[in-house]
A and B are shown apart, each in its own frame.
Chain A
Amino acid sequence: MTERNNAQDPWPEPAPLGHTVSDAPFDPYSVERVSPEQERYYLATQWQLMWWKLKRHRLAVWSGVFLLVLYGSIFFSELLAPYGLDTRHTDSLYHPPQAVHLFHEGEFVGPFVYGTTSKFDLKDFQWEHAVDRTKIERIRFFCFGDTYEYFGLFEASFHLFCPSEDGKLFLLGTDRLGRDVLSRIIYGARISLTVGLFGILISFAIGIVIGGLAGYYGGWVDNVSQRLIEIIRSFPELPLWMALSAALPVTWSPILIYFGITIILGLLDWTGLARAVRSKLLALREEDFTTAAVLMGAKPSRVIGRHLVPNFMSHLIASATLSIPHMILGETALSFLGLGLRPPITSWGVLLVEAQNINVVALYPWLMLPVVPVILTILAFNFLGDGLRDAADPYKNA
């Protein structure tokens, strides 16, 4: 104290502040008011929140768009493919892919391919396809070519693009029987992409029912289903798939086999889903709203279906997205082994049967091209699934 009162005070006492009063009218709700931005966020539904979160995951969005386009294409396979599924070109077996050119000798002609002359080399027993640089075969767009039956409804022959009149167009080459690989890949998408969807529907149904019962009732139901899941999981998948699809009667029609395969794929896939459902239900059935629903006399099926499952539907969808590629690969592998789909049903796996030996890799590598859409689809599903999984938790790091 004494030191402060010394003659030279370096820190003089500040002068008292003037009395100030805000002129603005008093608004008791100012704290509670939210900006439109915040309001939008607070009022958003769960799905909206998920969508906003997903939008930030660029790769996932693009993968989703890619998959939408791919799945959209299966409605227009006939239009997109330049040739029919089984159109054979007996004079161009094992024709290599043709390159699309725009300029001929410095002159702009528009998209075209050079014609080829094919002959069978009797010395090497191989087809030779020599490119003829003088023959210009312009690709036609929005044109009429091979006739097809659009979904068995009506006949048409309109295509997005076709070869020139009496010319050939094999952008991805032809196979052993002279069938256009590109067209077959486009048609194959129809089967390969839907196998996963149907499979996942089945596995979803089984997974939710069994997981739901186990989680809701607990006790011995839970125990039995848990053991069952453990047993199925401890089985290596592919040999089991193989065994089951070998059990499909040979006399079945290809379309029945197709459904048989999807059922088999779905039958073994539900275990992971059932586990997820069960563990969520175990937690949620203790919540107040469940008790309320039960007390109001809701049946178990309604409690599970209406009140519990929607709580984690987003998670289920994310995990389903991650298991579709698994099924697509499974179908591809089974068909490749000759235990899955059979011609005339054409999936990417069936196409790959052509690429079964090393000769193909050496001589006709383009027959392996059906693997490209397989890889792209699976990557896209994985990225999308990852994005969805992050987005399924909209409040995490929101």
Chain B
Amino acid sequence: MLIYCARRIMVMIPTLVAISILVFIIIQLPPGDYLTTYIAELQAQGEQVAQGKIEFLRKQYGLDKPYWEQYLLWFGGMLTGDFGYSFEYDLPVSEVVGDRLYLTFLLSFSTILFTWAVAFPIGIYSATHQYSWGDHGLTFLGFLGLATPNFLLALVLLYIGKVYFGTSIGGLMDPKYLQEPMSWGKFLSILEHLWVPVIVIGTSGTAAMIRRLRANLLDELQKQYVVTARAKGLPRIKVLTKYPLRMALNPFIADIGNLLPQVVSGAAIVSLVLSLPTTGPMLVEALRSQDMYLAGSFLMFLAVLTVAGVLLSDLALAALDPRIRLGAGSEH
């Protein structure tokens, strides 16, 4: 197990380095840099920009160096906790980002829990009552969740919350807690606001999860040991929970790898609509204004969140299923 862990973590390092290169290329892709945008803006307002000042700014932000040097500076800085400087906010990135990272993490984590909580009973019901009305209905509901664009669902829920419950469910907490440090009241307020984005983001992932669990469980239920167990007179529920369910559970954990990027993606757009203080809205802003270090840090953070999630799911899977940790490394 220890060897498996070590090997798995070793694999992660080059992946992260490759991702950081990719992120750096992406944030460099737009023509020009923040300063050209900034200068164009100043000139549009009729202000003269001295050539000397531009040179000075360019030098200060290290924009005059070759790309590889800029990359090394950026990557090296990240390792020491220095995420660069946000041009737009005129602050170090780490200060601009602040709480947003934790809240993104909280949101993603709750969404996955929600997905499990919903997909689990429905998947079991659908598999044990195959082709019943309940199965068809629930499957269809899942499909509908898959097909509805998240942002629109968010809008409608926002409206329903406003009209029927009289609460403003935009944001992640009551406005009065915004500037306050973490406290019990703030925590409760966050919980109160969390359910809408969680449901909205969860809908798309849930459908896929239900279908996978259903398919797996159906496969297991047709195996001979289940027939034997039934023939011996074991109660239905016991047969189900003792073996097939445990086998069918593997994908739940293995699927985090697929689910997490999806959840993070969903969170980005839903956060925009609901104006949640997570990474999504600020990322879009940063991308628009070419605030490259801010955008880069967000992209990097999201990628790291995903990679770490996949790592955790792999480790959990290895702990649960000896076949995986013993067969580690051999792909075919």
Contacts and interface: CB of A to CB of B under 8 A. Distances in A.
Contact of B283 (A230, A242, A329, A336): A242
Contact of B151 (A333, A360, A375): A333
B302 to A, nearest CB: 5
A215 B22 CA distance: 25
B262 interface: yes
Interface string A181-196: 0000000000000000
B218 to A, nearest CB: 13
Nearest to A241: B265
A379 B26 contact: no
Contacts of B252: none
B147 A227 contact: no
A15 interface: no
A237 B149 contact: no
B33 to A, nearest CB: 12
Interface string B19-36: 100100011011100000
A219 interface: no
B303 A236 contact: yes
Contacts, number: 127
B129 interface: no
Contacts of A282: 332
Contacts of B84: none
A173 interface: no
Contact of B147 (A239, A243, A357, A382): A382
Nearest to B30: A247
B15 A355 contact: no
A220 interface: no
B284 A247 contact: no
A230 B8 CA distance: 13
A236 B287 contact: no
B144 A236 contact: no
B171 to A, nearest CB: 13
A378 interface: yes
Interface string A232-259: 0111111110111011010000000000
A174 interface: no
Contacts of B29: 243-244, 247
Contacts of B306: 234-236
A276 to B, nearest CB: 15
Closest 4 CB pairs of A and B: A238-B265, A247-B29, A236-B264, A378-B147
